[in-house]
Amino acid sequence: MSKWPGKYVIGLTGNIGTGKSVVRRMLENLGAYGIDADALAHRAIARGAPGYRPVLNIFGQWILNDDDEIDRGKLGRLVFADPEGLRHLEEIIHPLVDQAVDILIRRAPQKVIVLEAIKLIEAGLAQGCDCIWVVYAPPDQQLSRLINNRKMTPDEARMRIEAQPPQEDKIAAAQVVIRNTSGFEDTWKQVSAAWRTFIPGGAVEPALPKVLPQAPAATAASIKSGVLSVSRARPKDSAIIASLVNRTRRGGHPLSPEDILAAFGEKAFLLLQIGEVPVGVIGWQVENLVTRILDVYLDPLIPAEKALPVLIKEVESASRELQSEAALVFAPIELSQSAETWGKLGYEARAPESLGVPAWREAASDAPHPGAVLYFKQLRQDRVLRPI
């Protein structure tokens, strides 16, 4: 049993480049509350956070960048080549991460928690978990993902892979092994089956249908007379989302249902409907306690001032339940002109560098679409790892 009464805690681990975060997001889609302990470790050493000064005291000012933030690239290259330095760093970070994890689990309303950590077992976090899940990928796929997704050089990627214990060591401690070697659908089947087997009362949605339904088109009459509702989309809705996006966005390569299906490994989707007719969709994610609304597509027949409040309020409600501190909206050009609507919702246009918290700036700096306008809103004042 976990050390948190009333909670069922999945400890999720795996070596670098195996796809742990994809599996965590799948579990979130099934209803778990996700915690990324590695992201919390980054927060722990941000400027103003409790680990910042102790790290500088050991490793020196040379690891700072021009903004006086710790350059994680420099620090990583140092400690992955120096086991003693890595040990010192972990002695600073691990107690802070443990404290943050405890806070997040205790105040999460969800009963099932997924705690992702690359050193779940080595750092002792596994001792508080009910079940250990390990994500596996062969070394060639690890290398390819680090080079293509994280933009590491081949030498740097190999050093990171070789610095970690053999994957077999983690597998030996696991109750569940997810082999993330094929596409989304295969991994989703493994995750769904394990959820149904190991999670108390773990109902799971049925398998994906062979023929996915297409989205019916709205009419001016239906939009004028209908009532808007929002529902959380599931992978089985991939074709509906794809057809809606292709019908409403301006330019770009047409998306297939398979493209949307793969995107469920990165984000969640909310569908805006009038009756059974979809008229809008939002793709969003909560990472490192920051909500990022990455995609907003509305049927051109529906006014933005009517649709946006319904969708955004639903995202905010879910975000607060996920303990998100701030919301970032990357509004496409056609929706960025609705400044009055965004203002009424409490959002203001901001430049990424103007955001005061490093985690917020980092989340804002990676814009998903060229030309998107960033809108920002703080959702809560109390922040994890804010120093006393």
Q: Could you tell me if 27 and 160 lie in one domain?
A: yes
Q: Could you tell me if 15 and 102 lie in one domain?
A: yes
What CATH number does the domain containing 272 carry? 3.40.630.30
Q: Could you tell me if 142 and 97 lie in one domain?
A: yes
Place of tokens 């319904």: 310
pTM, two decimal places: 0.86
Which domain does 350 fall in, by range?
Answer: 220-378
Q: Could you tell me if 268 and 149 lie in one domain?
A: no
pLDDT for 200-210, tens place per residue? 776 555 454 44
- Whole-number percent of the chain with pLDDT over 90: 58
The alpha-carbon radius of gyration of the chain (Å, integer) is: 21
Q: Could you tell me if 173 and 36 lie in one domain?
A: yes
Residue 198's nearest CA partner among 114, 105, 262, 98 is: 114
CA dihedral 117, 120, 124, 128 (to 10 degrees): 80
Q: Is 387 inside a domain boundary?
A: no
Bridge partner residues of 35 (DSSP): 115
Q: Could you tell me if 259 and 166 lie in one domain?
A: no
Bridge partner residues of 297 (DSSP): 281
Domain count, the chain: 2
pLDDT for 273-315, tens place per residue? 988 888 999 999 999 999 999 999 998 888 899 999 999 999 9
What is d(CA 345, CA 324) in angstroms, rounded to the nearest whole number?
Answer: 17
- Report residues of the chain scoring pLDDT below 50: 206, 208-212, 388
Q: Is 267 inside a domain boundary?
A: yes
Q: Is 214 inside a domain boundary?
A: no
Q: Could you tell me if 225 and 157 lie in one domain?
A: no
Q: Is 66 inside a domain boundary?
A: yes
H/E stretch holding 285: strand 277-287
